[in-house]
Amino acid sequence: NAGVTQTPKFQVLKTGQSMTLQCAQDMNHEYMSWYRQDPGMGLRLIHYSVGAGITDQGEVPNGYNVSRSTTEDFPLRLLSAAPSQTSVYFCASRSTGTSYNEQFFGPGTRLTVL
Amino acid sequence: AQSVSQHNHHVILSEAASLELGCNYSYGGTVNLFWYVQYPGQHLQLLLKYFSGDPLVKGIKGFEAEFIKSKFSFNLRKPSVQWSDTAEYFCAVPMYSGGGADGLTFGKGTHLIIQP
């Protein structure tokens, strides 16, 4: 199993550009989520999904859209990038059940918005 | 929503020193607690977790943590650190108590540097 994969690893955007960060998992996990990591802030939840067709907002959802058309994929879209979205983005997934099930993280996407 | 705080943002130790990193959480009913580690340039990995039973939890690489309900704490410990323990350490709790469809709330992290 590849686990959780993310593409691209690095991306530089100009303010106002749009892009999609890809996330896929091959563990048949129902729960998937996106976090951003900023220095001194830890990780903050952007959006999450409990299954195909179902998404919900996390702590910092503004400026980001998500969709979940399949169990495997959970892309994160930036419609109009802003410098404040410069961050490292991590996708995570976990199996169904209780919240103490381990979340598996992808390798991250380092995004810079100029 | 539940919250978690980590007391030490930067810690520098010499090899073989003992380590204790503090973590406190807000009360929210069902208590599930995690410690994650992020080695330089890598993604987060689970060190250990607590969800019930023995309050002293053992994880990978010689780490352990003790859940103290009366203090709302879940401190991470290691008796003798190694240079390879240099990493960022995060304490985390489910965002909402009771489990279910939610993500994690992370502390701001502790950057641990082990000097040879």
Nearest by CB to A48, from B92, B103, B108: name it.
B103
Structure tokens at B33: 């607690």
What single-letter amino acid sits at B100? Answer: G
- Neighboring chain A residues of B45 at a CB cutoff of 8 Å: 105
CB neighbour class for B71 (10 Å; exposed up to 12, middle 13-18, buried from 19): exposed
Q: Could you write out the three-class secondary structure of B17-84?
A: CCEEECEEECCCCCCCEEEEEECCCCCCEEEEEECCCCCEEECHHHCEEEEEHHHCEEEEEECCCCHH
Cβ within 8 Å, pair A48-B101: yes
pLDDT at A99 over 60: no
Q: Is the dihedral of CA A66, A36, B41, B22 positive or negative?
A: negative
Residues A91, A6 contacting (CB under 8 angstroms): yes
pLDDT score at A87: 97
Q: Comparing C-alpha atoms, which of B41, B26, B36, B12 is closest to residue B91?
A: B36
| Average confidence (pLDDT) per 10 residues, chain B, 116 residues | 86 97 83 92 91 92 94 95 96 70 84 95
Q: Residue B98 corresponds to which tokens in the numbers above?
A: 């009771």
**Interchain CB distance below 8 Å, B44 and A105:** yes
Across the interface, of B30, B36, B108, the residue whose CB is closest to A41 is: B108
Least confident of A62-66, A93-97, B41-45: A93-97
A110's tokens: 């380092």
Across chain A, what does the average pLDDT equal? 92
Least confident of A5-14, A30-39, A51-60, A89-98: A89-98
| Residue B83, min C-alpha distance to chain A (Å) | 22
**A-to-B residue pairs, Cβ atoms closer than 8 angstroms:** 67
